[in-house]
Structure 1
Amino acid sequence: MRVVLTTWGTRGDVEPLAGLAVGLRDLGAQVRVCAPPDDDFVTLLARAGVPLVPMGPSVRSVVANPKPPTAQDALRLAPELVAARFETLTAAAEGCDVLLATGLMPVGARDVAEALGIGYVYGCCQIFGLPSRYFSPGARPGTPSPQDETDKRVLWEQDAQRVNALYGEPLNSHRAALGLPPVDNVRDHVYTGRPWLAADPTLCPSQGMTDLDLVQTGAWILPDDRPLPRDLEAFLDAGEPPVYVGYGSMAAHAPADAARVAIEAARAHGRRLVLARGWAGLVAADDAGDCVVVGEVNQQALFRRVAAVVHHGGAGTTTAAARAGAPQVIAPQIADQPYWASRVAALGIGVVHHGRTPTVESMSAAFDTVLRPEVRAHARVTADLVRADGATVAAKLLLDRFGR
């Protein structure tokens, strides 16, 4: 069986596909991944031994700017991504049995599969963007809903209209060129009636949360057996478990003065600190020996050795910390991050930092709670509930449904 997987987004979008690709390969399938050409993702997929087909502009060129992307940036990017999918995926999916798409609204992926006569699956890593009677849609470029509108059915209809405004014209233009009929509701066309949810059911319970026929496989986790760098190992061995602080691919959205705030708050609790550089380029506030700055490392190994994990609330980091039994402080910035923060708090395995910009006082108050023994105990119990076989489950489903 031949499978093409595709996404456009940050590491949190690319790494799950690498995990699924490994799961498929282990079951005998041939897999390739169409993803952004960022060096980070080239390295990641090479480590997984999965061929990368570069698609679209680099993500870092779009998001790692001093200011967050604007609505006008989104209007320019949308047709570019649609065109890239029709061009790149059509060639990459030739001779394949199924195309699975995730990430930033993968408009064009289903249409390429339709034109080639192969299977199509839409996958997501959280329920935040799926129409629901229980929660409202998130922010999206376009005409906002009236502030006094509370009917969730109406709000989701207006969300679909915003997606149409972003993607409708370029999508239907490409469909017409292939002799395919136009699409009226782009969002629901992309999602299909049966999307797959690549999230752990303990961390992300989904029963009844959407009217769609959701298939929850568990998180698609890429196994990581890399040793930690020697200097990091030495730092960890030299004292009590430190606090980890990192904001991943959040560049423009990373809290101001995040490094200094975290270091001073950790020191107030007698804790050392591991600071992840990330796309925000965090650096130590001084040259004291109680802080070490790291680049991309094995989080699965590192998180088992820290006192707490402070992060932005991405699905991947939340899951990695939960699997490791590490208490979490989440300072959510955008998109689904408030949802993951709320789940961590509800499970008693961490706290939410309310407010996008932590201060030394507010972060120190979060440490007051998250460093308590009972939070660590809850985190360790929850770690045993978080499944690691989601990629295998999804791979078997793909083989059973689309294998020749």
Structure 2
Amino acid sequence: MRVLLSTYGSRGDVEPMVGLAFRLRELGAEVRVCAPPDKEFEGLLAGIGVPLVPVGPSARALTKEAPPASSISQRAAELVANQVDVVTAAAEGCDAMVVTGMLPTAAAALSVAEKLGIRSVSVTFQQLTLPSPQRRPLAYPGRPLPKDVADNRVLWEMDAESINTLFGEGLNTSRASIGLPPVDSVREYVIGDQPWLATDPTLDPLTDMPDFDVVQTGAWILPDERPLAADLVAFLEAGEPPVYVGFGSMAMHASADVAQVAIEAIRAQGRRAIVRRGWADLALIDDRDDCFVVGEVNQQALFGRVAAVVHHGGAGTTTTATRAGAPQVVVPQIADQPYWAARVADLGIGAAHDGPTPTFESLSVALKTALTPETRTRATAVAATIRTDGAAVAAKLLLDWSC
């Protein structure tokens, strides 16, 4: 069986697909992945022997560029057209497609599956884009939701209209180019009747979504067997467990002095620090031996050896830290990250920082909560409930469903 996994976005949109590809290959499927042409994505896929079909511009470059809200529609139309071209070629001979990533590019990939008659499923790595009467939709840049509207169903209708305004014309132009009729609702087209939700039920319990039959598989985790570098191990063994600080692909959204603020706040708690460079190239602030900087690293191995994890609240990092039993301080930057911060706080496994810009004082308060024995005990208990078989469950579902 041949399967195409299609995504476009940051590492949080790509790494779970690598986890699924790994499990699909174990079951004998032939897999290829359409994703941005970033070197780190190539490395992830090369590590499991799965080819990357590069699509669109570099995700890192696109994130750094941060185009103004006024150009979102034009940029999306360009990405959609490129997706249609690349995915059409990559999908040749495939029996099934799994699609995720930015909504307009997901719509483009699903359109290719429709054109070629390939069975497809849409997956999301957070449930906030799935309409529910119990919550408000996420707002798009430059298109805030009215604060005086309390009815969530009305807000979701506004959300659908906003998505159509932003992405409808570009999508339907590309669909017409391959002989497909226009779609009336871009959002509903992408979600479909039975979307998959690749998150852990403990960390992300399903809310009521009466319009959809959601399949929650558990998070798609790529097993990481890479050893930690010798110099990092030496640092870990040279003293008490340090506090890890990393913002991944969201580092460029964080404040310019976030590394300095974090290191000073960690030192004030009598702790050492590990700083991950991330996409914004965070660096140490001096040459004292109580801090260590890392680049690409096995977080699954590292998080089990730290006192706490300070991060941006991406779904992947939150799940990895929770699974490792590491107390967390989540400093949310954008999109779904405030949700994950709130889940960490609600579960009692860490602290949710109020807002995206920490100060010495605010981060110190959050660290005090995360570094208590009670938080460590709770984090250890919750870690035991986190499923590790999400990607395997999804792979078997896909193969059974496609037969």
TM-score, reference length from structure 1:
0.97
Does structure 1 residue 125 correspond to structure 2 residue 134? Answer: no
Q: Secondary structure in 1 aligned to 2:170? A: helix
CA–CA distance in 1 between the matches of 2:56 and 2:266? 40
Q: Distance in 2 between matches of 1:147 and 1:291?
A: 43
2:234 aligned residue? 234
> Which region of structure 1 is more displaced relative to structure 2, 241-250 or 207-216?
207-216
> Is the partner of 1:108 in helix, strand or coil?
helix
Q: Shift of residue 34 of structure 1?
A: 0.1
Structure 1 residue identity aligned to 2:310: V
- Offset of residue 207 of structure 1: 4.6
User: Hey, what does 2:13 align to over in structure 1?
Assistant: 13
The answer to whether the 8 Å contact 1:246/1:277 transfers is yes
**1:290-369 equivalence runs, <5 A:** 290-369=290-369
| Larger helix proportion of the pair | 2
Helix, strand or coil at the partner of 1:64: helix
Residue 107 (structure 2) aligns with:
107
CA positional deviation for 1:255: 2.7
Q: Within 5 A, what are the aligned runs for 1:384-395?
A: 384-395=384-395
1 CA distance for matches of 2:208 and 2:135?
A: 12
Q: Alpha carbons of 1:180 and 1:146: their partners in 2 closer, same or farther (altered >3 Å)?
A: same
Alpha-carbon shift at residue 112 of structure 1 (Å): 0.5
With normalisation by structure 2, the TM-score equals 0.97
Q: Secondary structure at the match of 1:250?
A: helix
1:277 corresponding residue in structure 2: 277
After superposition, the C-alpha distances for 1:247-287 in whole angstroms (9 at most, x for unaligned) are 00014311331111111111111100000000011111111
1:191-202 equivalences under 5 Å are: 191-202=191-202
1-structure distance, mates of 2:124, 2:98: 10
Give the Cα–Cα distance (whole angstroms) in 1 for the partners of residues 77 and 356 of structure 2: 31
User: Which segment drifts farther, 251-260 or 142-151?
Assistant: 142-151
Measured in 1, the distance between the counterparts of 2:252 and 2:329 equals: 20
Q: Is the 8 A contact 2:4 2:90 kept in 1?
A: yes
Counterpart position of 2:383: 383
Asked whether the equivalents of residues 256 and 357 of structure 1 are also in contact (C-alpha less than 8 Å), the reply is no
* Letter of the 1:255 counterpart: S
* 1:97 lines up with 2:95 in the alignment: yes
Q: Give the letter for the 2:185 counterpart.
A: N
User: Is the contact between residue 37 and residue 55 of structure 1 (CA under 8 Å) also seen in structure 2?
Assistant: yes
> Which residue does 1:185 correspond to in 2?
185
Report the residue type matching 1:100 in the other structure: V
Distance in 2 (alpha carbons) for counterparts of 1:173 and 1:181: 10
Deviations 1:105-149 (A, max 9, x none): 112111111110110100000111111101111111464433322
Shift of 1:170: 1.9
Q: How many residue pairs are counted as aligned between the two chains?
A: 401
Q: Which residue of 2 aligns with 1:31?
A: 31
| Counterparts of 1:180 and 1:211, CA distance in 2 | 25
Asked if the contact 2:134–2:207 (Cα under 8 Å) also holds between the matched residues in 1, the reply is no
Q: Deviations over 1:313-365 (max 9, x none)?
A: 00000000001000000010100000001111111001101121111111111
Secondary structure of 1:96's partner?
coil
Aligned partners of 1:4 and 1:93 also within 8 Å: yes
Go from structure 1 to structure 2 and tell me whether the alpha carbon gap of 1:166 and 1:273 turns closer, same or farther (over 3 Å shift): same
* Residues 142 and 165, structure 1, Cα contact 8 Å, conserved in 2: no
| Deviation (angstroms), 1:154 | 1.3
Measure the CA separation in 1 of the matches of 2:356 and 2:171: 35
- Quick check: 1:244–1:308 contact (8 Å CA) kept in 2? yes
CA–CA separation in structure 2 for the residues paired with 1:232 and 1:255: 26
Question: Does the alignment pair 1:370 with 2:370?
Answer: yes
Residues 1:135 and 1:7: Cα distance change in structure 2 (over 3 Å)? same
Residue by residue over 1:173-218, the C-alpha shift from the partner in whole angstroms, topping out at 9 and shown as x without a partner, is 2222222221100110011011000000000001524631100000
Q: Is the 8 A contact 2:133 2:208 kept in 1?
A: no
Alignment partner, residue 82 of structure 2: 84
Determine helix, strand or coil for the equivalent of 1:274.
Answer: strand
Q: Deviations over 1:64-103 (max 9, x none)?
A: 24xx442134223201111111101111111111111111
Alpha carbons of 1:17 and 1:322: their partners in 2 closer, same or farther (altered >3 Å)? same
Letter in 2 for 1:127: Q
CA contact (8 A) 1:130 1:210 kept: no
With over 3 angstroms needed to count, the CA separation of the structure-2 counterparts of 1:143 and 1:292, relative to structure 1, is: closer
* Structure 2: distance between partners of 1:44 and 1:90: 23
8 Å contact 1:332–1:341 — kept in the other structure? yes
Q: RMSD of the TM alignment (CA)?
A: 1.2
| Native 8 Å contact 1:36 1:54 kept in 2 | yes
> What is the rounded CA distance, in whole Å, between the counterparts of 1:86 and 1:255 in structure 2?
36
Q: Distance in 1 between matches of 2:176 and 2:309?
A: 49
State how far apart, in whole Å, the 1-side matches of 2:336 and 2:176 are: 34
- Residue 309 of structure 1: how far off its partner (Å): 0.1
Q: Distance in 2 between matches of 1:235 and 1:141?
A: 42
SS in 1 for 2:81: helix
Q: Which runs of 5+ in 1 are unaligned?
A: none
- Matched to 2:319, the amino acid is T
